[in-house]
Amino acid sequence: MNFDLSEEQRLLKDSVERLMLDSYSFGDRRKYQTEKRGFSEAMWARYAELGLLALPFAEEHGGFGGGAVETMIVMEAFGKALILEPYFATVVLAGGLLRLGASEAQKAELIPLIAEGRTKLAFAYAEPQSRYDLVDVETRAKRDGDGWILNGSKDLVLHGDAADKIIVSARTAGDTRENDGVGLFLVDADAPGLTRRGYPTQDGLRAADITLERVRVETANVIGDPAGAFPVISRVADEAVAALCAEAVGSFTQMQAITLDYLKTREQFGKKIGSFQVLQHRAVDMFVDLEQSRSMAIYAAIMAVESDASERERAVSAAKVQIGRSAKAIGQQSIQLHGGIGMTMEHSVGHYFKHVTMLDTLFGDAEHHLRRLAALGGLSGDQRME
Ligand X SMILES: Cc1cc2nc3c(=O)[nH]c(=O)nc-3n(C[C@H](O)[C@H](O)[C@H](O)COP(=O)(O)OP(=O)(O)OC[C@H]3O[C@@H](n4cnc5c(N)ncnc54)[C@H](O)[C@@H]3O)c2cc1C
Site for ligand X in 313-342 (CB under 6 A): 336-337, 339-340
- Smallest distance, Å, CB 231 to ligand X? 48
Between 219 and 339, name the residue whose CB sits nearer to another protein: 339
DSSP-assigned letter for residue 4: P
Q: H or E element: which one contains 237?
A: helix 230-265
List the interface residues with another protein, window 105-164 (CB under 8 A).
126, 128-129, 131-133, 136, 155-156
- Smallest distance, Å, CB 180 to another protein? 16
Binder among 91, 279, 283, 301 for another protein (CB under 8 A): 279
Given another protein, ligand X, none, residue 375, with its beta carbon under 5 to 8 Å by kind, binds none
Between 268 and 380, name the residue whose CB sits nearer to ligand X: 268
Q: Is 307 helix (H, G, I), strand (E, B) or coil?
A: coil
Binder among 154, 354, 369, 372 for another protein (CB under 8 A): 354
Task: Report which residue type is found at 185.
Answer: F
Q: Phi first, then psi: what are they for 212, rounded to 5°?
A: -115, 120
Between 220 and 345, name the residue whose CB sits nearer to another protein: 345
Between 224 and 274, name the residue whose CB sits nearer to another protein: 274
- Smallest distance, Å, CB 332 to another protein? 6
What does the alpha-carbon distance between residue 28 and residue 14 come to, in Å, rounded to a whole number? 20
- Smallest distance, Å, CB 337 to another protein? 9
Between 27 and 270, name the residue whose CB sits nearer to ligand X: 270
Total number of residues binding another protein (CB under 8 A)?
A: 71
Q: Phi first, then psi: what are they for 157, rounded to 5°?
A: -80, 110
List the interface residues with another protein, window 202-241 (CB under 8 A).
202, 204, 207, 209
Given ligand X, another protein, none, residue 19, with its beta carbon under 5 to 8 Å by kind, binds another protein
What does the alpha-carbon distance between residue 24 and residue 31 come to, in Å, rounded to a whole number? 10
Q: Which residue is nearest to ligand X (CB)?
A: 339
- Smallest distance, Å, CB 278 to ligand X? 5
Given ligand X, another protein, none, residue 14, with its beta carbon under 5 to 8 Å by kind, binds another protein
Q: Are strands 165-171 and 121-124 parallel, antiparallel or unpaired?
A: parallel
State how far the alpha carbon of 365 is from the alpha carbons of 85, 305, 336, in Å. Answer: 22, 21, 23
List the interface residues with ligand X, window 234-293 (CB under 6 A).
266, 268-269, 273, 276, 278-279
What does the alpha-carbon distance between residue 60 and residue 179 come to, in Å, rounded to a whole number? 32
What does the alpha-carbon distance between residue 348 and residue 112 come to, in Å, rounded to a whole number? 36
* Residue 275 binding another protein, by CB under 8 A: no
How much is the CA Rg of the chain, to the nearest whole Å? 21
Binder among 25, 103, 275, 344 for another protein (CB under 8 A): 344
Between 78 and 262, name the residue whose CB sits nearer to ligand X: 262
DSSP string, 53-86: GGTTS-GGGT-----HHHHHHHHHHHHHHT--ST
Total number of residues binding ligand X (CB under 6 A)?
A: 12
- Smallest distance, Å, CB 336 to ligand X? 5
- Smallest distance, Å, CB 145 to another protein? 33
What does the alpha-carbon distance between residue 161 and residue 120 come to, in Å, rounded to a whole number? 10
Nearest to 243 by CA among 67, 120, 98, 116: 67
What does the alpha-carbon distance between residue 315 and residue 245 come to, in Å, rounded to a whole number? 12
Binder among 218, 267, 285, 308 for another protein (CB under 8 A): 267
In contact, 130 and 176? CB cutoff 8 Å = no
- Smallest distance, Å, CB 11 to ligand X? 40
- Smallest distance, Å, CB 356 to ligand X? 19
State how far the alpha carbon of 276 is from the alpha carbons of 2, 74, 302, in Å. Answer: 38, 36, 40
What are the CB-based long-range contacts (under 8 Å, 24+) for 339-344? 339/266
What does the alpha-carbon distance between residue 19 and residue 69 come to, in Å, rounded to a whole number? 19
For the chain, give the longest Cα–Cα distance: 79
- Enumerate binding residues for ligand X (CB under 6 A): 266, 268-269, 273, 276, 278-279, 336-337, 339-340, 343
